[in-house]
Amino acid sequence: MHEPFRTGQRHHQPNRRALLRTALGAGAGALMWSSLGGSADAAPRPAAGDLIVNDFESATWGTWRTTGSAFGTGPVLGEDLLRRLEITNYRGNGVASSEREGDAPTGSLTSPEFTIQRDFIAFAIGGGDYERVTCLNLLVDGTLVRSATGRNSDALAEASWDVRPWKGRRARIEIVDTATGDWGHVNVDQILQTDQPTKRPVTTQPLYQETWRPQFHFTARQWVMDRLNPGQRQEGWLNDLNGLIFYEGEYHLFAQRWNKCWIHAVSNDLVHWNELQPAFWEEDLGTGVQSGSCVVDYQNTSGLSPDSRTPPMVAFWSRNDNKSQCLSYSLDRGRTWKHHDANPVLTAPERDPKVFWYAPGKHWVMFLYGGDQYHIYNSPDLLHWTDTGHPISGFECPDFFELPVDGDPGEKRWVLVRGDGKYSLGTFDGTRFTEQTSQFVADSGPHFYATQSWNNTETGDGRRIQAAWMRGGSYPDMPFNQQVTFPAELTLRTTEDGIRLHRNPIAEITTLHRTQSRWTGSLNTGTSRTLAAGGDRFHGVMNLSVPQGASLTLTVRGIPVRLGHQSIDNGSGAQPLSKPLAKVEVLIDRASIEVFANDGEVSVSRCYLPSNNPITLSATGGTCQIDSTFHTLASIWPA
């Protein structure tokens, strides 16, 4: 999902700006008229008891404060000028608009402080769909708590915020335009406090209790927006995992809001996550903060910390130009971040820098994706980089680490994982990766991409823990979009086919166990067993014997998972095993199924939407022996 940034396309008449300049020159900005404008004749007028914050019917801004030049000296007034700006669905004669002089000017417009006295603040808004850039904001005690944007349309749309949590508090309205390109403006009309808004907020279910919200998989939240089905670059969206790191007892999870910012969450147990405000944002609209990695500079080799006792946490990322490799850093355990003043620290194609400390050589290493290869760089200080000249074939979002074979610290292999989940094994001397195997599949599911693992866990329990973006899941009419796999522990084990990477759910899954249901028995051809009549989250473990020619079908709320004599199929075809299938572990959430076979030799992750409730097991082609235990699971989210 690393595509160039593209703004929306406008379809205005070619002479629009010329007409606007003519109108302004003729004094059209002072025109007044008495009827409702555009198609707003049917628009409701304020009801008795409503409190008008501003209807923008005056010639000046009065007590509202402006910065920059975008909003001029007052509202855009008059039918002729509003039509020339193609603004429709307005009320009365005026609109707060940053479009008077086109899309280039920037600025803000801020109200005096007022007390929130009604349950809702209603408004009409249009213009660019750039969150936090062309927007209408509500600030309570100086903190941004709600925001809205247009939808790349100058037809004003009714909207409202539920402000009951802040009733009685002091607040300000802020209209912001910091965009200079296409659709770089915002239009707002008739802001009022009301108990009966024409258009209520579209998000109606409590946070983390929404219909399709996964209950033990991480998903992103909306902080200030009210939007269903968020897309890339919008609050609630999540894609590539970035910079997973363990530091001072905390696991940090970073992820893309598609190159707009790095989403940030922390956990003490890899199960229960507390999402913080985004770690950092793109420098300017469209410049991007693409995928990357994070390290702790314990020796302060970079000099980014003024106190060597406080090592900097350093995040590496790429701009959208796909050549500028940049860094941001934190001196307070990831709570606040600063872009490095001398960015970029490396100018080289293309993106997704994976950085780590190579202890034997006492230097930093970067794997940088570019031209279907990973280019390997070295640095003494994270700021100055040298190409080693030993690229290796790869595809996006690299992950690279060393693991013992069969738990033997005397025998280790380096593991190179590509963005698509394929991996290879080999040796590494600090400058060159010597590949010793072909590429294998870490997880063969249809929804497994941009995998990363937690770095710096040697300062904790030493496990290598992996997670991935479950790309392509569907969550209709939800205020979030996309989810992360449940964390899996990685190990290297010797199989009949050679050394292979194994993935198993982390042991902490047991902390979510609630009720248990066990069944031991056999199933003959044509017979079935209900393992769970209802529920939407389970951890199941099945010890099996499936004769050659026979198979079992685990039907999870309408979705079949096929278990063969020496294969499993969870939506991406039969995946072979090196030995007959003996054990299956399954994680079932509201919108995902993850299957792990033979202690993680094969794993298959997929998203789904259920068609019915039961979880059943049926046999065909012979008699199968089963010993199954299913646990219901608690939610990881606060009630």
Domains belonging to the chain, first-starting first, are: 16-194 (2.60.120.260), 241-505 (2.115.10.20), 508-633 (2.60.120.560)
Q: What are phi and psi of 520, to 5 degrees?
A: -125, 130
Q: 565 and 581 in contact (C-beta within 8 Å)?
A: yes
Q: 505 and 613 in contact (C-beta within 8 Å)?
A: no
Q: Which residues contact 244 (CB under 8 A, 6 or more apart)?
A: 251, 252, 253, 254, 294, 452, 453, 454, 455, 465, 467
Q: What H or E segment, with its residue span, contains residue 25? A: helix 16-25
Instruction: Characterise 477 by phi-psi region: left (phi > 0), alpha (psi -120 to 50), beta (else).
Output: left
pLDDT at 46: 77
pTM over 0.85: yes
Look at residues 200, 191, 150, 149 and name the one whose alpha carbon lies nearest to residue 172: 191
Q: What H or E segment, with its residue span, contains residue 24? A: helix 16-25
Q: 160 and 201 in contact (C-beta within 8 Å)?
A: yes
Strand order through the sheet with 592-597: 513-523, 624-633, 538-545, 583-589, 592-597, 602-607
pLDDT at 48: 82
pLDDT digits (tens, 9 = 90+) for 176-227: 999 999 999 999 999 999 999 999 999 999 999 999 999 999 999 999 999 9
DSSP bridge pairs for 155: 88
pLDDT at 38: 52
Tokens encoding 414 = 């380096």
pLDDT at 22: 31
- Which regions of the chain are under pLDDT 50? 1-37, 39-42
Q: 416 and 435 in contact (C-beta within 8 Å)?
A: yes
Look at residues 248, 250, 252, 246 and name the one whose alpha carbon lies nearest to residue 268: 250
**Cβ count near 132 (within 10 Å):** 20
Q: 531 and 519 in contact (C-beta within 8 Å)?
A: yes
Question: In whole angstroms, what is the distance from residue 270 CA to residue 467 CA?
Answer: 10
In three-state secondary structure terms, 165 is: helix
Question: In whole angstroms, what is the distance from residue 133 CA to residue 155 CA?
Answer: 19
How large is the greatest C-alpha to C-alpha distance in the chain, in angstroms? 89
Task: Measure CA 202 to chain center.
Answer: 20
pLDDT at 18: 33
